[in-house]
Chain A
Protein backbone atom coordinates (compact mmCIF):
# COMPACT_ATOMS: atom_id res chain seq x y z
CA UNK A 1 0.00 0.00 0.00
CA UNK A 2 1.69 3.18 -1.10
CA UNK A 3 1.87 6.00 1.37
CA UNK A 4 0.05 8.32 -0.98
CA UNK A 5 -2.91 5.97 -1.16
CA UNK A 6 -2.98 5.62 2.59
CA UNK A 7 -2.84 9.38 3.03
CA UNK A 8 -5.72 9.82 0.60
CA UNK A 9 -7.62 7.09 2.40
CA UNK A 10 -7.15 8.72 5.79
CA UNK A 11 -8.01 12.18 4.47
CA UNK A 12 -11.15 10.93 2.82
CA UNK A 13 -12.10 9.05 5.97
CA UNK A 14 -11.74 12.18 8.09
CA UNK A 15 -13.73 14.27 5.64
CA UNK A 16 -16.40 11.58 5.46
CA UNK A 17 -16.68 11.69 9.24
CA UNK A 18 -17.05 15.45 9.08
CA UNK A 19 -19.64 15.14 6.33
CA UNK A 20 -21.68 12.82 8.51
CA UNK A 21 -21.29 14.47 11.86
CA UNK A 22 -21.04 18.06 10.66
CA UNK A 23 -19.23 19.10 13.80
CA UNK A 24 -17.04 21.66 12.05
CA UNK A 25 -19.93 23.22 10.18
CA UNK A 26 -22.46 23.16 12.97
CA UNK A 27 -20.30 23.87 15.97
CA UNK A 28 -16.86 25.19 15.19
CA UNK A 29 -17.97 27.68 12.57
CA UNK A 30 -20.58 29.29 14.81
CA UNK A 31 -18.01 29.32 17.59
CA UNK A 32 -15.59 31.22 15.39
CA UNK A 33 -18.33 33.61 14.36
CA UNK A 34 -19.27 34.28 17.98
CA UNK A 35 -15.61 34.89 18.75
CA UNK A 36 -15.46 37.50 16.01
CA UNK A 37 -18.58 39.15 17.35
CA UNK A 38 -17.20 39.19 20.88
CA UNK A 39 -14.01 40.79 19.62
CA UNK A 40 -16.17 43.52 18.18
CA UNK A 41 -17.87 44.08 21.51
CA UNK A 42 -14.55 44.25 23.27
CA UNK A 43 -12.86 46.60 20.85
CA UNK A 44 -15.39 48.80 19.20
CA UNK A 45 -16.10 51.48 21.75
CA UNK A 46 -18.02 53.77 19.45
CA UNK A 47 -21.24 51.87 19.60
CA UNK A 48 -20.80 50.79 16.03
CA UNK A 49 -21.91 54.08 14.56
CA UNK A 50 -19.13 55.84 12.77
CA UNK A 51 -16.08 54.04 14.04
CA UNK A 52 -13.84 54.85 16.97
CA UNK A 53 -11.56 57.78 16.91
CA UNK A 54 -8.02 57.23 17.99
CA UNK A 55 -7.18 60.12 20.26
CA UNK A 56 -3.45 60.54 20.20
CA UNK A 57 -1.37 58.65 17.76
CA UNK A 58 2.37 58.60 17.88
CA UNK A 59 3.63 58.82 14.38
CA UNK A 60 6.67 56.66 14.73
CA UNK A 61 7.12 56.03 11.04
CA UNK A 62 7.18 59.37 9.26
CA UNK A 63 6.36 57.79 5.94
CA UNK A 64 3.07 56.37 7.08
CA UNK A 65 0.16 58.25 8.45
CA UNK A 66 -2.70 56.34 9.89
CA UNK A 67 -5.45 56.78 7.37
CA UNK A 68 -8.33 55.35 9.22
CA UNK A 69 -9.64 55.89 12.66
CA UNK A 70 -11.70 52.77 12.92
CA UNK A 71 -10.18 50.41 15.46
CA UNK A 72 -12.01 47.36 14.27
CA UNK A 73 -11.08 47.89 10.68
CA UNK A 74 -7.47 48.34 11.72
CA UNK A 75 -7.24 45.12 13.66
CA UNK A 76 -9.61 43.04 11.54
CA UNK A 77 -6.87 40.91 9.97
CA UNK A 78 -5.44 40.07 13.38
CA UNK A 79 -8.83 39.19 14.76
CA UNK A 80 -9.52 36.86 11.88
CA UNK A 81 -6.38 34.91 12.61
CA UNK A 82 -6.99 34.85 16.34
CA UNK A 83 -10.37 33.32 15.71
CA UNK A 84 -8.72 30.86 13.32
CA UNK A 85 -6.20 29.84 15.96
CA UNK A 86 -8.85 29.16 18.56
CA UNK A 87 -10.86 27.19 16.05
CA UNK A 88 -7.75 25.25 15.09
CA UNK A 89 -7.45 23.99 18.65
CA UNK A 90 -11.01 22.75 18.63
CA UNK A 91 -10.70 21.14 15.21
CA UNK A 92 -7.51 19.33 16.23
CA UNK A 93 -9.08 18.00 19.38
CA UNK A 94 -12.00 16.77 17.32
CA UNK A 95 -9.74 15.21 14.70
CA UNK A 96 -8.07 13.05 17.30
CA UNK A 97 -11.10 12.49 19.48
CA UNK A 98 -12.62 10.40 16.69
CA UNK A 99 -9.49 8.29 16.75
CA UNK A 100 -9.17 7.73 20.45
CA UNK A 101 -12.89 7.34 21.22
CA UNK A 102 -13.11 3.75 20.13
CA UNK A 103 -9.46 2.91 20.00
CA UNK A 104 -9.11 3.55 16.29
CA UNK A 105 -5.71 5.17 16.75
CA UNK A 106 -4.51 1.97 18.37
CA UNK A 107 -5.96 0.06 15.45
CA UNK A 108 -4.20 2.39 13.03
CA UNK A 109 -0.92 1.72 14.74
CA UNK A 110 -1.52 -2.03 14.67
CA UNK A 111 -2.45 -1.76 11.02
CA UNK A 112 1.18 -0.91 10.51
CA UNK A 113 0.57 1.80 7.98
CA UNK A 114 3.23 4.39 7.42
CA UNK A 115 2.70 7.00 10.16
CA UNK A 116 3.81 9.77 7.85
CA UNK A 117 0.91 8.86 5.59
CA UNK A 118 -1.49 9.14 8.51
CA UNK A 119 0.06 12.52 9.25
CA UNK A 120 -0.41 13.82 5.71
CA UNK A 121 -3.94 12.45 5.48
CA UNK A 122 -5.13 13.98 8.72
CA UNK A 123 -3.32 17.25 8.00
CA UNK A 124 -4.98 17.55 4.61
CA UNK A 125 -8.42 16.90 6.04
CA UNK A 126 -7.76 19.37 8.85
CA UNK A 127 -6.45 21.93 6.39
CA UNK A 128 -9.50 21.70 4.18
CA UNK A 129 -11.83 22.26 7.10
CA UNK A 130 -9.66 25.15 8.26
CA UNK A 131 -9.64 26.73 4.82
CA UNK A 132 -13.41 26.72 4.59
CA UNK A 133 -13.57 28.25 8.04
CA UNK A 134 -11.10 30.98 7.12
CA UNK A 135 -13.01 31.97 3.99
CA UNK A 136 -16.17 32.36 6.01
CA UNK A 137 -14.35 34.37 8.66
CA UNK A 138 -12.90 36.72 6.07
CA UNK A 139 -16.43 37.23 4.82
CA UNK A 140 -17.62 37.97 8.33
CA UNK A 141 -14.79 40.45 8.83
CA UNK A 142 -15.75 42.27 5.65
CA UNK A 143 -19.33 42.47 6.83
CA UNK A 144 -18.96 43.11 10.53
CA UNK A 145 -15.68 44.97 10.76
CA UNK A 146 -16.27 47.18 7.76
CA UNK A 147 -13.05 45.88 6.30
CA UNK A 148 -12.68 46.60 2.62
CA UNK A 149 -11.11 44.09 0.27
CA UNK A 150 -9.85 45.61 -2.97
CA UNK A 151 -9.88 43.25 -5.96
CA UNK A 152 -6.13 43.59 -6.30
CA UNK A 153 -5.66 42.01 -2.91
CA UNK A 154 -7.61 38.89 -3.70
CA UNK A 155 -4.64 37.00 -5.04
CA UNK A 156 -2.50 37.76 -2.03
CA UNK A 157 -5.34 36.85 0.27
CA UNK A 158 -5.77 33.48 -1.39
CA UNK A 159 -2.06 32.66 -1.24
CA UNK A 160 -1.89 33.75 2.38
CA UNK A 161 -4.82 31.59 3.32
CA UNK A 162 -3.29 28.60 1.63
CA UNK A 163 0.22 29.01 3.05
CA UNK A 164 -0.92 29.79 6.58
CA UNK A 165 -3.41 26.93 6.57
CA UNK A 166 -0.72 24.44 5.61
CA UNK A 167 1.47 25.50 8.51
CA UNK A 168 -1.39 25.46 10.99
CA UNK A 169 -2.64 22.07 9.83
CA UNK A 170 0.82 20.52 10.11
CA UNK A 171 1.45 21.88 13.59
CA UNK A 172 -2.03 20.97 14.75
CA UNK A 173 -1.82 17.40 13.48
CA UNK A 174 1.61 16.88 15.00
CA UNK A 175 0.79 18.08 18.48
CA UNK A 176 -2.69 16.64 18.31
CA UNK A 177 -1.13 13.25 17.74
CA UNK A 178 1.19 13.76 20.69
CA UNK A 179 -1.55 14.65 23.13
CA UNK A 180 -4.22 12.27 21.80
CA UNK A 181 -5.58 10.01 24.48
CA UNK A 182 -3.81 11.65 27.38
CA UNK A 183 -5.82 13.16 30.19
CA UNK A 184 -5.14 16.84 30.45
CA UNK A 185 -4.78 17.10 26.70
CA UNK A 186 -7.41 19.86 26.55
CA UNK A 187 -5.01 22.31 28.15
CA UNK A 188 -1.75 20.74 27.03
CA UNK A 189 -2.60 21.12 23.35
CA UNK A 190 -3.09 24.91 23.46
CA UNK A 191 0.00 25.31 25.65
CA UNK A 192 2.11 23.50 23.06
CA UNK A 193 0.51 24.78 19.89
CA UNK A 194 0.01 28.48 20.48
CA UNK A 195 3.65 29.50 21.06
CA UNK A 196 4.66 27.48 18.03
CA UNK A 197 2.16 29.12 15.67
CA UNK A 198 2.98 32.66 16.79
CA UNK A 199 5.01 33.30 13.60
CA UNK A 200 1.99 32.26 11.56
CA UNK A 201 -0.17 34.71 13.44
CA UNK A 202 2.28 37.51 12.80
CA UNK A 203 2.92 36.64 9.17
CA UNK A 204 -0.64 35.91 8.18
CA UNK A 205 -1.97 39.03 9.86
CA UNK A 206 0.53 41.27 8.14
CA UNK A 207 -0.03 39.61 4.79
CA UNK A 208 -3.79 39.97 5.06
CA UNK A 209 -3.30 43.58 6.08
CA UNK A 210 -1.43 44.22 2.89
CA UNK A 211 -4.09 42.39 0.92
CA UNK A 212 -6.80 44.50 2.45
CA UNK A 213 -4.75 47.63 2.25
CA UNK A 214 -5.47 48.24 5.91
CA UNK A 215 -3.98 51.41 7.24
CA UNK A 216 -2.37 52.21 3.94
CA UNK A 217 -0.16 49.14 3.83
CA UNK A 218 0.99 48.54 0.30
CA UNK A 219 0.29 45.25 -1.42
CA UNK A 220 3.95 44.56 -2.05
CA UNK A 221 4.70 44.54 1.65
CA UNK A 222 2.91 41.26 2.00
CA UNK A 223 5.38 39.14 0.06
CA UNK A 224 8.07 38.77 2.72
CA UNK A 225 5.36 37.57 5.06
CA UNK A 226 4.22 34.99 2.59
CA UNK A 227 7.82 33.87 2.45
CA UNK A 228 7.78 33.40 6.20
CA UNK A 229 4.56 31.41 6.03
CA UNK A 230 5.94 29.16 3.33
CA UNK A 231 9.13 28.48 5.27
CA UNK A 232 7.08 27.68 8.33
CA UNK A 233 4.79 25.34 6.42
CA UNK A 234 7.69 23.49 4.82
CA UNK A 235 9.56 23.17 8.11
CA UNK A 236 6.60 21.69 9.90
CA UNK A 237 5.43 19.64 6.99
CA UNK A 238 8.73 17.82 6.85
CA UNK A 239 9.40 17.83 10.58
CA UNK A 240 5.87 16.78 11.38
CA UNK A 241 5.89 13.84 8.98
CA UNK A 242 9.16 12.61 10.48
CA UNK A 243 8.17 13.17 14.08
CA UNK A 244 4.59 11.89 13.88
CA UNK A 245 5.54 8.21 13.79
CA UNK A 246 7.66 8.19 16.92
CA UNK A 247 5.18 10.41 18.70
CA UNK A 248 2.06 8.31 18.21
CA UNK A 249 4.08 5.17 18.65
CA UNK A 250 4.67 5.89 22.27
CA UNK A 251 1.17 6.30 23.56
CA UNK A 252 -0.02 3.26 25.41
Chain B
Protein backbone atom coordinates (compact mmCIF):
# COMPACT_ATOMS: atom_id res chain seq x y z
CA UNK B 1 0.00 0.00 0.00
CA UNK B 2 2.07 2.90 -1.20
CA UNK B 3 0.64 6.33 -0.62
CA UNK B 4 1.18 9.46 -2.61
CA UNK B 5 0.25 8.42 -6.09
CA UNK B 6 -0.20 11.98 -7.24
CA UNK B 7 2.66 13.41 -5.27
CA UNK B 8 5.10 15.71 -6.96
CA UNK B 9 8.42 16.19 -5.25
CA UNK B 10 10.64 19.16 -5.62
CA UNK B 11 12.59 17.35 -8.29
CA UNK B 12 9.46 17.14 -10.40
CA UNK B 13 9.20 13.38 -10.19
CA UNK B 14 5.62 12.18 -10.11
CA UNK B 15 4.02 8.95 -8.93
CA UNK B 16 6.98 7.87 -6.82
CA UNK B 17 6.14 6.93 -3.26
CA UNK B 18 8.05 8.93 -0.66
CA UNK B 19 11.04 7.37 0.98
CA UNK B 20 9.96 8.34 4.47
CA UNK B 21 6.40 8.83 5.63
CA UNK B 22 5.64 9.53 9.26
CA UNK B 23 2.24 10.44 10.61
CA UNK B 24 1.88 11.33 14.29
CA UNK B 25 4.66 8.89 15.05
CA UNK B 26 5.35 8.20 18.69
CA UNK B 27 8.54 6.49 19.84
CA UNK B 28 9.39 5.76 23.42
CA UNK B 29 12.68 5.55 25.29
CA UNK B 30 11.89 3.62 28.44
CA UNK B 31 8.80 5.49 29.55
CA UNK B 32 9.73 8.81 27.99
CA UNK B 33 8.09 9.75 24.69
CA UNK B 34 11.12 10.88 22.75
CA UNK B 35 8.91 11.40 19.73
CA UNK B 36 5.47 12.68 20.63
CA UNK B 37 3.79 12.84 17.27
CA UNK B 38 6.18 13.45 14.41
CA UNK B 39 4.73 14.00 10.96
CA UNK B 40 7.16 14.09 8.10
CA UNK B 41 7.41 13.14 4.46
CA UNK B 42 10.70 12.85 2.64
CA UNK B 43 10.94 12.14 -1.06
CA UNK B 44 13.72 10.40 -2.88
CA UNK B 45 16.79 12.50 -3.58
CA UNK B 46 16.03 15.14 -0.96
CA UNK B 47 18.42 16.38 1.65
CA UNK B 48 16.47 17.26 4.77
CA UNK B 49 17.97 19.07 7.72
CA UNK B 50 16.51 18.35 11.13
CA UNK B 51 17.02 21.28 13.39
CA UNK B 52 16.18 21.71 17.05
CA UNK B 53 17.48 21.99 20.58
CA UNK B 54 19.10 19.13 22.45
CA UNK B 55 16.58 16.64 23.68
CA UNK B 56 14.11 17.58 20.99
CA UNK B 57 14.05 14.11 19.53
CA UNK B 58 16.22 14.47 16.43
CA UNK B 59 18.29 11.40 17.23
CA UNK B 60 15.18 9.40 18.04
CA UNK B 61 13.61 10.44 14.76
CA UNK B 62 16.64 9.21 12.86
CA UNK B 63 16.78 5.96 14.82
CA UNK B 64 13.09 5.42 14.18
CA UNK B 65 13.63 5.75 10.45
CA UNK B 66 16.57 3.34 10.69
CA UNK B 67 14.31 0.75 12.24
CA UNK B 68 16.28 0.83 15.47
CA UNK B 69 13.63 2.44 17.64
CA UNK B 70 10.24 0.74 17.66
CA UNK B 71 7.19 2.70 16.60
CA UNK B 72 4.90 2.91 19.61
CA UNK B 73 1.96 4.77 18.10
CA UNK B 74 1.00 6.47 14.89
CA UNK B 75 2.14 5.43 11.44
CA UNK B 76 5.51 5.24 9.86
CA UNK B 77 6.78 3.92 6.55
CA UNK B 78 10.23 3.84 5.07
CA UNK B 79 10.58 2.64 1.48
CA UNK B 80 6.99 1.54 1.83
CA UNK B 81 7.73 -0.81 4.71
CA UNK B 82 5.73 -0.41 7.89
CA UNK B 83 8.06 0.54 10.71
CA UNK B 84 5.91 -1.19 13.29
CA UNK B 85 6.03 -4.63 11.74
CA UNK B 86 8.63 -4.66 8.98
CA UNK B 87 11.53 -2.81 10.52
CA UNK B 88 13.95 -5.57 9.57
CA UNK B 89 13.15 -5.06 5.88
CA UNK B 90 13.86 -1.38 6.19
CA UNK B 91 17.31 -1.79 7.59
CA UNK B 92 19.37 -3.11 4.70
CA UNK B 93 18.58 -0.02 2.63
CA UNK B 94 19.41 2.46 5.34
CA UNK B 95 22.76 3.71 6.55
CA UNK B 96 22.99 5.45 9.87
CA UNK B 97 25.79 7.45 11.37
CA UNK B 98 24.87 8.09 14.98
CA UNK B 99 26.74 9.55 17.87
CA UNK B 100 28.83 6.42 17.98
CA UNK B 101 30.71 5.27 14.95
CA UNK B 102 29.91 1.59 14.81
CA UNK B 103 33.55 0.70 14.28
CA UNK B 104 35.69 -2.07 15.72
CA UNK B 105 38.46 -0.35 17.62
CA UNK B 106 40.95 -3.19 17.43
CA UNK B 107 40.79 -3.44 13.66
CA UNK B 108 42.37 -0.94 11.34
CA UNK B 109 40.63 1.37 8.92
CA UNK B 110 40.90 -0.86 5.88
CA UNK B 111 39.59 -3.87 7.79
CA UNK B 112 36.61 -1.94 9.12
CA UNK B 113 35.58 -0.54 5.74
CA UNK B 114 36.10 -3.93 4.10
CA UNK B 115 33.94 -5.62 6.70
CA UNK B 116 31.04 -3.26 6.35
CA UNK B 117 31.32 -3.21 2.61
CA UNK B 118 31.43 -6.99 2.51
CA UNK B 119 28.11 -7.20 4.37
CA UNK B 120 26.47 -5.95 1.18
CA UNK B 121 28.86 -7.74 -1.12
CA UNK B 122 30.74 -4.67 -2.24
CA UNK B 123 33.77 -5.32 -4.42
CA UNK B 124 37.30 -4.43 -3.43
CA UNK B 125 37.24 -1.56 -5.88
CA UNK B 126 34.14 -0.07 -4.34
CA UNK B 127 35.60 -0.40 -0.87
CA UNK B 128 38.82 1.20 -2.06
CA UNK B 129 36.92 4.00 -3.74
CA UNK B 130 34.96 4.66 -0.56
CA UNK B 131 38.14 4.99 1.44
CA UNK B 132 39.71 7.27 -1.14
CA UNK B 133 36.68 9.52 -1.22
CA UNK B 134 36.84 10.07 2.51
CA UNK B 135 40.58 10.52 2.53
CA UNK B 136 41.43 7.53 4.67
CA UNK B 137 42.98 5.37 2.01
CA UNK B 138 46.63 6.24 2.28
CA UNK B 139 48.52 6.56 5.52
CA UNK B 140 45.58 5.92 7.82
CA UNK B 141 44.50 2.59 6.44
CA UNK B 142 46.60 0.34 8.64
CA UNK B 143 46.10 2.24 11.85
CA UNK B 144 43.77 0.63 14.42
CA UNK B 145 40.63 2.70 14.70
CA UNK B 146 40.96 3.13 18.43
CA UNK B 147 44.08 5.20 17.82
CA UNK B 148 42.49 7.62 15.40
CA UNK B 149 41.32 11.08 16.26
CA UNK B 150 37.59 11.72 16.55
CA UNK B 151 37.47 13.31 13.14
CA UNK B 152 39.37 10.47 11.52
CA UNK B 153 37.01 7.95 13.11
CA UNK B 154 34.09 9.92 11.73
CA UNK B 155 35.54 9.82 8.26
CA UNK B 156 36.14 6.09 8.55
CA UNK B 157 32.54 5.61 9.62
CA UNK B 158 31.39 7.61 6.62
CA UNK B 159 33.55 5.48 4.37
CA UNK B 160 31.77 2.42 5.76
CA UNK B 161 28.46 4.07 4.95
CA UNK B 162 29.57 4.77 1.40
CA UNK B 163 30.82 1.22 0.98
CA UNK B 164 27.46 -0.09 2.13
CA UNK B 165 25.63 1.69 -0.70
CA UNK B 166 22.84 2.90 1.56
CA UNK B 167 19.78 4.41 -0.13
CA UNK B 168 18.69 6.43 2.86
CA UNK B 169 21.40 8.20 4.79
CA UNK B 170 20.62 9.14 8.37
CA UNK B 171 23.31 11.33 9.82
CA UNK B 172 23.37 12.55 13.38
CA UNK B 173 25.67 15.53 13.82
CA UNK B 174 27.96 14.35 11.02
CA UNK B 175 30.03 17.52 10.91
CA UNK B 176 30.93 17.37 14.57
CA UNK B 177 34.59 16.57 15.06
CA UNK B 178 35.55 17.16 11.46
CA UNK B 179 38.02 19.82 10.45
CA UNK B 180 37.30 22.19 7.59
CA UNK B 181 38.70 19.83 5.00
CA UNK B 182 36.75 16.95 6.44
CA UNK B 183 33.57 18.95 6.30
CA UNK B 184 34.11 19.85 2.67
CA UNK B 185 34.71 16.22 1.90
CA UNK B 186 31.55 15.25 3.72
CA UNK B 187 29.53 17.76 1.74
CA UNK B 188 30.98 16.46 -1.49
CA UNK B 189 30.19 12.90 -0.45
CA UNK B 190 26.61 13.84 0.34
CA UNK B 191 26.10 15.59 -2.96
CA UNK B 192 27.51 12.60 -4.75
CA UNK B 193 25.27 10.24 -2.81
CA UNK B 194 22.20 12.24 -3.68
CA UNK B 195 23.26 12.44 -7.29
CA UNK B 196 23.35 8.67 -7.41
CA UNK B 197 19.83 8.45 -6.01
CA UNK B 198 20.18 8.40 -2.25
CA UNK B 199 18.10 10.39 0.20
CA UNK B 200 19.67 12.15 3.15
CA UNK B 201 18.39 13.24 6.52
CA UNK B 202 20.78 15.19 8.69
CA UNK B 203 20.35 16.27 12.26
CA UNK B 204 22.74 19.08 12.91
CA UNK B 205 23.50 22.17 14.89
CA UNK B 206 25.74 23.40 12.11
CA UNK B 207 22.99 25.48 10.67
CA UNK B 208 24.91 27.37 8.03
CA UNK B 209 26.78 24.50 6.55
CA UNK B 210 24.02 21.95 6.78
CA UNK B 211 21.44 24.56 5.89
CA UNK B 212 23.15 25.39 2.63
CA UNK B 213 23.35 21.70 1.88
CA UNK B 214 19.72 20.95 2.54
CA UNK B 215 16.75 21.22 0.24
CA UNK B 216 14.42 21.44 3.19
CA UNK B 217 14.55 22.24 6.86
CA UNK B 218 12.37 20.63 9.48
CA UNK B 219 12.23 21.89 13.04
CA UNK B 220 12.06 19.24 15.72
CA UNK B 221 10.71 20.54 19.01
CA UNK B 222 9.64 18.42 21.97
CA UNK B 223 9.25 15.31 19.90
CA UNK B 224 7.21 16.90 17.15
CA UNK B 225 8.02 18.26 13.73
CA UNK B 226 7.35 21.51 11.91
CA UNK B 227 8.37 22.55 8.45
CA UNK B 228 10.51 25.65 8.16
CA UNK B 229 11.61 27.82 5.27
CA UNK B 230 15.03 27.23 3.87
CA UNK B 231 15.61 30.93 4.11
CA UNK B 232 15.40 30.87 7.87
CA UNK B 233 18.67 29.04 8.26
CA UNK B 234 20.14 31.65 10.56
CA UNK B 235 17.35 31.52 13.14
CA UNK B 236 17.11 28.74 15.66
CA UNK B 237 13.40 28.87 16.35
CA UNK B 238 10.40 28.25 14.15
CA UNK B 239 9.62 31.06 11.78
CA UNK B 240 5.85 30.81 11.81
CA UNK B 241 3.80 29.21 14.53
Contact = CB atoms under 8 A, between A and B. Distances in A.
A and B touch in the complex (CB under 8 A): yes
Interface of A: 1, 5-6, 9, 13, 16-17, 20-21, 98, 101-104, 106-113, 245, 249, 252
Contacts of A110: 66-68, 91, 94-96
Interface string B16-50: 00000000000001000000000000000000000
Contact of A252 (B29, B89, B101): B29
Contacts, number: 84
Interface string B68-108: 11100000000000000001111111111011111111110
Name the residue among B104, B105, B121 with the largest chain A CB count within 10 angstroms: B104
B164 A111 contact: yes
A113 B164 CA distance: 12
Contacts of A1: 118-121
Contacts of B107: 13, 16-17, 20
B119 A6 contact: yes
Given A102-B102, A107-B96, A111-B120, 16 more contacts: A16-B111, A102-B103, A102-B105, A103-B100, A103-B102, A106-B96, A106-B100, A107-B116, A109-B68, A110-B68, A112-B89, A112-B92, A113-B92, A249-B88, A252-B29, A252-B70
Contacts of A245: 88
Interface residues of B, number: 36
Interface string B173-205: 000000000000000000000000000000000
A85 B68 CA distance: 33
Contacts of A9: 115, 118-119
Contact of B91 (A13, A111, A252): A111
Contacts of A108: 119
B87 to A, nearest CB: 8
24 contacts: A6-B119, A9-B115, A13-B111, A16-B107, A102-B100, A102-B101, A102-B103, A102-B104, A102-B105, A103-B102, A106-B68, A106-B98, A106-B102, A107-B96, A109-B67, A109-B68, A110-B67, A110-B68, A110-B91, A110-B94, A111-B91, A111-B116, A112-B92, A252-B29
Contacts of A109: 67-68, 91
Nearest to A100: B100
A21 B119 contact: no
A153 to B, nearest CB: 38
Nearest to B101: A102
Interface in B200-225: none
Contacts of B111: 13, 16
> Which are the 7 A-B pairs with shortest beta-carbon distances?
A112-B92, A107-B102, A103-B100, A112-B91, A20-B106, A21-B106, A17-B106
A6 B119 CA distance: 6
